[in-house]
Amino acid sequence: MRNGLSTSKPMLSHKSTLFTESVIRGMTQLCNRYDAINLSQGTPGFEPPDEVKEAAIDAIREGYNQYSITWGTPKFREAIAQKVTASNGIPTDPDQNVTVTCGSTEGMMSSLLAIINPGDEIIIFEPFYENYGPDTIISGAKPIYVPLRETHCPERGDIFTYDPDELRDAFSKNTKAIVLNTPSNPIGKVFIHDELKEIASLCCEYDSLAVTDEIYEHMIYDERPHISIGSLPEMRDRTITVSGLSKTYSMTGWRLGYVIAPEYLANGIRKMHDFLTVGAPHPLQQAGVVALQLGEEYYRELIRKYDDNRKLFSALLRKAGFQCYIPEGAYYIMTDISNFGFSDDTEFAHWLVKEIGVGGVPGSSFYSRPELGKTKLRFMFSKDKATLREAADRLMRIREKI
């Protein structure tokens, strides 16, 4: 029925039926309903720096309340270009290479819409951030998944890595791009130089692009470096780098993302961005300049704070009976829930919210085949220590309830 009339025409597009609503955001709604501690969605439990908030208030008072240039204010693009050139090693021109977007999520979507043609394939490492599957469907690409498996490395300990032969087999004449997420969500993998060189070699051999999501670039532990694949000389003309301010400065609601791309790609990305969202919030872009000009001490303290949380919460989770995959970066811990006797991760995640009062994300939402994640659950640790300890105290009661 539509407007009281029956119709035989399908009203939804076929592609809209090929994926579900966000599992992560759905778990947040469930946590809200049951007043549970929400360790599902990656919303930091911290505030943006005071000077950045004051800059946003000042910008509103000073009249920055109408549209900016659709691909970003000149000052914000200049600040981004300086940061990316100095920190990521990617020579960046603010006028030719920078597009400001409504978060990195829109940045990724605009990028894929700008490059994908019917029949193109995109390689995605698995497990992956849940948006990448729908992104490929919406853009019209065919996803090709390459598994990341836990492996013991004498130099680095237990890590997730790929099989080089499986990666090579994934490339074909139809490969338009490979999606990289480093540090990655949900497992916190940090791609090292040798891996990036291998990926770059395959991109050059198959004339493919790299689209890289680096939103957690400032959250890497044990003195590992962050390396942008776009900094490799052979990849400067074939890399789209997506990042933003949401996680680093605890401002996920501000929706400030950006895309760095060579000019011949940036022009297409800007057109897609323009007709999707017009532009990111003007006064918040003004404040974003202040955020990007914070000193090195801010980033050192950020890593220290999150590393402390990583160590604390992984130990507390183990005590509660979870097996943990220790992340190299980002602020999530993927766990194995086999010890608790549930055969379905979604059932366990919902039970955990309703009976224990703690929210996590079912592991199946990070895999192309849900059965691969049925024994996994992801928690975030971007909260103050008191909240993490309270969550752990509640999780200790799982055995009593089963």
In-domain check, residue 57: no
Predicted local confidence at residue 145, as pLDDT: 97
User: If you ran DSSP here, which 8-state letter would residue 41 be given?
Assistant: S
Task: Please check whether residues 74 and 165 belong to one and the same domain.
Answer: yes
Task: Please check whether residues 286 and 307 belong to one and the same domain.
Answer: no
CB-based contacts of 296, cutoff 8 Å, min separation 6: none
Task: Please check whether residues 253 and 378 belong to one and the same domain.
Answer: no
Q: What are the distances in angstroms from CA 316 to CA 121, 157, 348, 387?
A: 41, 21, 19, 12
Task: Please check whether residues 254 and 238 belong to one and the same domain.
Answer: yes
Three-state secondary structure call for residue 11: coil
Please choose, from the candidates 137, 108, 133, the residue with its C-alpha nearest in 3D space to the C-alpha of residue 241. 108
**Residue that is last in its domain, among 255, 275, 292:** 292
Burial class (CB in 10 A: 0-12, 13-18, 19+), 277: middle
Task: Please check whether residues 264 and 361 belong to one and the same domain.
Answer: no
Whole-structure pTM value: 0.95
Task: Please check whether residues 33 and 119 belong to one and the same domain.
Answer: no
In-domain check, residue 308: yes
Q: Give yes or no for a contact between 373 and 299, defined as CB atoms under 8 angstroms apart.
A: no
In-domain check, residue 2: no
**Residue that is last in its domain, among 292, 327, 351:** 292
| Greatest CA separation for the chain | 67
In-domain check, residue 10: no
In-domain check, residue 6: no
User: If you ran DSSP here, which 8-state letter would residue 289 be given?
Assistant: H
Could you state, in chain order, the average pLDDT of each consecutive group of 10 residues for the chain (402 residues)?
62 88 94 97 96 98 98 98 98 98 98 97 97 94 95 73 97 98 97 97 98 98 97 98 98 98 98 97 98 97 98 97 96 96 94 98 96 96 98 95 83
Q: Determine the Cα–Cα distance for residues 101 and 242; give it in Å rounded to an integer.
A: 10
Burial class (CB in 10 A: 0-12, 13-18, 19+), 62: exposed
Domain at 20, CATH number: 3.90.1150.10
Predicted local confidence at residue 175, as pLDDT: 98
Task: Please check whether residues 161 and 21 belong to one and the same domain.
Answer: no
**Residue that is last in its domain, among 240, 259, 292:** 292
What DSSP line would sit under 99-157, residue for residue?
Answer: EEESHHHHHHHHHHHHH--TT-EEEEEES--TTHHHHHHHHTPEEEEEE-EEEEETTTE
In-domain check, residue 7: no
Q: Give yes or no for a contact between 246 and 252, defined as CB atoms under 8 angstroms apart.
A: yes
Contacts by 94-98, CB closer than 8 A, 24 or more apart: 96/263, 96/266, 97/260, 97/261, 97/262, 97/263, 97/266, 98/71, 98/72, 98/258, 98/259, 98/260, 98/266
Task: Please check whether residues 101 and 217 belong to one and the same domain.
Answer: yes
Q: What are the distances in angstroms from CA 163 to CA 146, 151, 168, 199, 322?
A: 8, 10, 9, 12, 27
In-domain check, residue 159: yes
> Residue 225: how many CA atoms within 13 Å on its side-chain side?
10
In-domain check, residue 55: no
Three-state secondary structure call for residue 254: helix
Domain count, the chain: 2
Task: Please check whether residues 103 and 221 belong to one and the same domain.
Answer: yes
Q: Determine the Cα–Cα distance for residues 251 and 166; give it in Å rounded to an integer.
A: 38
User: What angle separates helix 74-83 from helix 282-292, to the nearest 10 degrees?
Assistant: 30
Structural domain boundaries enclosing 281: 64-292
Residue 3 Rama label (left phi>0; alpha psi -120 to 50; beta):
left
Task: Please check whether residues 148 and 73 belong to one and the same domain.
Answer: yes
Q: Give yes or no for a contact between 50 and 290, defined as CB atoms under 8 angstroms apart.
A: no
Residue 28 Rama label (left phi>0; alpha psi -120 to 50; beta):
alpha
Domain at 107, CATH number: 3.40.640.10
Q: Determine the Cα–Cα distance for residues 270 and 93; give it in Å rounded to an integer.
A: 15
For the stretch 261-271, what's the b/e string if a residue is b when 16 or more beta carbons lie within 10 angstroms of its beta carbon? bbeebbeebbb
Q: For tokens 């032969």, what's the residue?
A: 165
Task: Please check whether residues 25 and 154 belong to one and the same domain.
Answer: no
What DSSP line would sit under 49-75, residue for residue?
Answer: PHHHHHHHHHHHHTT--S---TT--HH
Task: Please check whether residues 320 and 277 belong to one and the same domain.
Answer: no
